[in-house]
Amino acid sequence: MTPASPIRKIYQGVADRRQMFRMFDRHAQRPNRWENDDSALFCGEWFEIAKVEHDYMFNVLPPLFMRNGMFAMREFLTDRITSVFYELNIDGHIRYFHAYCDLAERGSADRMRAAIAERESRPVRAMIREERIEHIWSSTHDEYRGYAGERWPQEHRGKRTVLYWGGRRGTVLKLLEALTDEEIAAKLPVHLRHLPPAVAA
């Protein structure tokens, strides 16, 4: 499986509680789950939540630490990765976020906070291609997404796949990374299809 980039937004909009819990392990179907160190799959993922979800998670367990508008979960996802929740003032509005941080790296939670603030402070709320793809993966039901198996060429095995309606061809299984811009737009919700694509960080 191809490791993801270091810090990435994986969902556009504010996730409700059901969606939040789905995204806590959005790689649940990965091949050989738990057999490898999957830290790279999760580390750097972040998305926005509402205050009620932020406060709910704060009360689940006593935090591992709490400072500067953030707290970390005591339970670790992997040996080094845990959830960090943020309360950030962005453009005069208090907003809430969840992220996976590698606490073995000094300052990782602070770097994540800075990255979220920078991304959400852009004057144009554009989506780069990678964010569009990650949103599709996060919002697609488990029955319609998966991983390339033995029927795929060796170089593609383990990569993420999604079902796509191919018109006269019917339903087609495609590599997520191979979706065309038109296919990506078709799989996004209407309110996200026409956001400007080019203002990359």
The span from the CA of 160 to the CA of 162, in Å, is 7
Q: Which residues contact 48 (CB under 8 A, 6 or more apart)?
A: 11, 13, 14, 15, 95, 96, 97, 120
- Tens of pLDDT, residue by residue over 120-135, are 987 666 788 898 999 9
Q: Assess whether pLDDT exceeds 90 at residue 113.
A: yes
Query: How do strand 8-15 and strand 45-49 relate by DSSP bridges?
Result: parallel
Q: Which residues contact 149 (CB under 8 A, 6 or more apart)?
A: 31, 157
- In the numeric block, which tokens belong to residue 84? 């960090």
- Tens of pLDDT, residue by residue over 159-196, are 999 988 777 777 888 999 989 888 888 888 766 655 55
Q: Assess whether pLDDT exceeds 50 at residue 200.
A: no
Find the range with the poorest average confidence among 32-36, 52-56, 95-99, 155-159. 32-36
pLDDT of residue 34: 65
DSSP class of 62: -
The span from the CA of 187 to the CA of 133, in Å, is 9
The Cα angle at residue 127 between residues 132 and 9, in degrees rounded to 5? 70
The span from the CA of 175 to the CA of 179, in Å, is 7
- Tens of pLDDT, residue by residue over 124-167, are 667 888 989 999 999 988 888 989 988 899 999 889 999 887 77
